[in-house]
Chains A and B, each alone.
Chain A
Amino acid sequence: MATASAERIPILRMGEFLLVSIQVDMHDRLALRLQDDLTEGITASSARGVLIDISSLEVVDSFIGRMLANIAAMSRILDAETVVVGMQPAVAITLVELGLSLSGVRTALNVERGMELLRASVARAERGPTVARDED
């Protein structure tokens, strides 16, 4: 159990974004640790976006689903956009059947698209409300 508690999911910094790739089976303690590390990481690096890649995640339960939603909500409070990318069909069906539609979480098919989304939303935020009006 000593190794299990030392185990953590790496958080990579890439410019103003943080990258998290979940490649092991998520258990509850690991999920809570990720939540801690990520919120601290956002504050420390004043990141503008978080990208969570779950393409290797095959199994998901309600706790992990809720954790993803929580991370997104927390990041938003810390002024960072969250994008979850690469969800497997089976995982998506399970989450929907569990009644978790993760309505506050942005999603993309793969890391590339996810980064595009993050860049676009950061650019939109930087342009400010005056320019945004011209778009209409």
Chain B
Amino acid sequence: MGLATRTRIPEILREHRDELINEWTTDLAADRSQRPDLITPQETRQQASEFVSLLADALERTGPSDRMNGAWVPVRQHLESITRSRVQQGFTPSAVASFVLSFKRPLFEKLRSRVGADELANELWSATLLLDDLGLWTTEIYQKSREEIISRQQQEMLELSTPVVKLWDGILGLPMIGTLDSARTQVVMETLLQRIVETGSQIAIIDITGVPTVDTLVAQHLLKTVAAAHLMGTEVIISGVRPQIAQTIVHLGVDLGQVITKASLADAFALALQRSGLTVVSRDQKART
């Protein structure tokens, strides 16, 4: 743009450093959205003074209009660490952005007293662009760190929702919870097969009580898991088929082939015990015989 290549902002930042920081932190302390309960005034002051120093450095090395320049990396990194810590403390995005934006008032006042009327408009404009840009940067970082949290939670949920449990010697249970998609089926299949190898189990029960709907895709995923386990020499019983799901499977024309299905986990477990040559006998009955 050219109009702001020469600016007196860094000079003002250097000369009135302490005054600017004092006014800025006073403004921040008065602002209820800055959560004085979560962050101490000393902390705020330290963050503010570091920001002012880094800002002055960056402005001296390069003009205010070239904000993608490498000279701005320290400023951006400083803001990033401030934002990330505030995200964890539970600040709102606007509160984080207004940390930067509230620097406008002290800076503008200094500009007004130090810069001549003919240059003032230009200086104000470049200062506004600069601080707006840095304010938006904090919002971007805010959103990014939130997205990181979401994707981490998704990963955790994926791990949580596919436990393979040992029901008996040689019998594994896999209670499935939530909708089955391709990514989850892959994880389920891999963990189940891995556990089969580890435990040498001959029977595995997949319980789908917690699966809300079974469509053709889900059925296909289930059949794949059963087929893979069968290839390794393990028999799979699918249990927890609710009446509604049985109807859906038939209406969709899904052919479950040779797969053994049971209405409840108890039925499946009874069958698994029977196949393993085991019986469950009540103590009374045992005493009588």
Contacts and interface: CB of A to CB of B under 8 A. Distances in A.
Interface of A: 84-89, 91-93, 95-97, 101-103, 107-110, 113-114
A101 B232 contact: no
Contacts of B201: 109
A41 to B, nearest CB: 23
13 contacts: A84-B231, A84-B233, A88-B197, A89-B190, A89-B194, A89-B196, A93-B228, A96-B224, A96-B227, A101-B227, A103-B258, A110-B233, A113-B202
B189 interface: yes
B75 to A, nearest CB: 49
A106 B73 CA distance: 63
A89 B232 contact: yes
B98 interface: no
Given A89-B197, A92-B231, A108-B233, 13 more contacts: A84-B233, A87-B231, A89-B228, A91-B231, A92-B232, A93-B190, A93-B228, A96-B228, A96-B231, A109-B201, A109-B202, A110-B233, A113-B233
Interface residues of B, number: 19
Contacts of A96: 224, 227-228, 231
A126 B147 CA distance: 66
A120 B193 CA distance: 25
B171 to A, nearest CB: 13
B138 interface: no
For the residues of A in contact with B, the DSSP-based class is: mixed
B193 A92 contact: yes
B141 interface: no
Interface in B183-242: 189-190, 193-194, 196-197, 200-202, 224, 227-234
Contacts of B196: 89, 109
A66 B230 CA distance: 16
Contact of A93 (B189, B202, B233, B258): B189
Interface centre among B190, B194, B231 (most CB of A within 10 A): B231
The 8 closest A-B pairs by CB, nearest first: A89-B193, A108-B233, A107-B233, A92-B228, A92-B231, A101-B227, A109-B233, A96-B228
A93 B226 CA distance: 10
A102 B230 CA distance: 9
Contact of A110 (B200, B224, B231): B200
Contacts of A103: 258
B231 A102 contact: yes
Most buried by B among A85, A87, A103, A109: A109
Given A89-B190, A93-B190, A113-B202, A107 B232 contact: yes
Nearest to A95: B231
Nearest to B201: A109
A113 B201 CA distance: 11
A97 B185 CA distance: 12
A16 B182 CA distance: 44
A91 B232 CA distance: 9
Interface in B227-267: 227-234, 258
B233 to A, nearest CB: 4
Contacts of B189: 93
A86 B231 CA distance: 9
